[in-house]
Structure 1
């Protein structure tokens, strides 16, 4: 079988508009993948997510600087899921591609719909910077409604180790 395969992902970022782009996937050599189910309404969930993320990415040999960026994204997406959904559980997933890590956080959704494009909050606001951070440190990110209310927010981080840079 010589056909190229891909994982189609719907994109809603400001770098290329909305549309569908394809992550390269060779089904003959499956990509490393990890899924982890977390409690949706628990204050310990972000810490559990970070611990699982660290263990998984170290096990895959991901560079330290990349792990730091992925941890920040995981913290933001999991915290957003807890704050903005009524989920009893959250699914955290990773895929290790040739030159990137794709993170996705899926929850049971809310009545608020998909997140809008991130906007910088006022300097006096105590929250609202999460998606701005995700937008700035990821290569791409987006949202996808799965079924009626289930929502996935995903981000892709390029595998570049920035831990030794000054």
Structure 2
């Protein structure tokens, strides 16, 4: 049985988290889990632990869990690196709806991500390209001094995938630097 409020991992004691019970095998149930990461010593580690525990609680394993761990890592690392001042609100939200999981990371930066081609020898700069390759859809919402970057992953055995990830230009439009 999945606990309604899993005990926080020591790395995420500052964050709040809530995980709902596993969804029914049928219907259009929606389940959400949030993790506050502001003030967390290792936000990427805390986010990965939360994704792992929550998705397993919801009965999601295998490739979708592996992809979700990588997507969450990239989105949180990007938000941590580029958020204004580095100490503002940082939150991750997981949503499970029949057929897909959405990973959304919000930070205090209001500028949209801007993609730059990674230099062949660079150690960074490929995060959003990795997320785009794994996600069915990827987007960004900006408003009220906050930005939320989200990715939608298809859950296997839930029907055919529709749509697709946006192009590089669609994702990276907007102002600001990332």
2:67 is the counterpart of 1:64:
no
> 2:147 — aligned with what?
151
Q: Report if the CA contact (8 A) 1:63-1:159 is conserved.
A: no
Q: Secondary structure at the match of 2:113?
A: coil
Q: Report if the CA contact (8 A) 2:137-2:151 is conserved.
A: yes
Taking the aligned partners of 1:146 and 1:71, their CA distance within structure 2 comes to 26
Task: Please state how far the C-alpha of 1:43 moved relative to its aligned partner.
Answer: 4.9
Q: Secondary structure at the match of 1:157?
A: strand
> 2:31 — aligned with what?
32
Q: Secondary structure at the match of 1:39?
A: coil
Task: Please state how far the C-alpha of 1:146 moved relative to its aligned partner.
Answer: 2.4
Task: Please state how far the C-alpha of 1:69 moved relative to its aligned partner.
Answer: 0.2
Superposed counterparts of 1:124-163, under 5 Å: 124-147=121-144, 149-160=145-156
Equivalent residue pairs, number: 129
1:51-70 deviation per Cα after TM superposition (whole angstroms, max 9, x unaligned): 01111000000132101100
Of 40, 49, 57, which residue of structure 2 is paired with 1:51? 49
The normalised TM-score by structure 1 is 0.72
Mark the CA change 1:119 to 1:135 in structure 2 (over 3 Å): closer, same or farther: farther
Q: Secondary structure at the match of 2:119?
A: coil
> 2:175 — aligned with what?
none
The normalised TM-score by structure 2 is 0.67
Mark the CA change 1:99 to 1:30 in structure 2 (over 3 Å): closer, same or farther: closer
Q: Report if the CA contact (8 A) 1:63-1:160 is conserved.
A: no
> 2:107 — aligned with what?
107
1:16-72 deviation per Cα after TM superposition (whole angstroms, max 9, x unaligned): xxxxxxxxxxxx9650111110125x5511000000111100000013210110000
Q: Which runs of 5+ in 1 are unaligned?
A: 1-27, 162-166
> 2:171 — aligned with what?
none
Structure 1 moving runs of 4+ over 6 Å: none
Q: Secondary structure at the match of 2:94?
A: strand
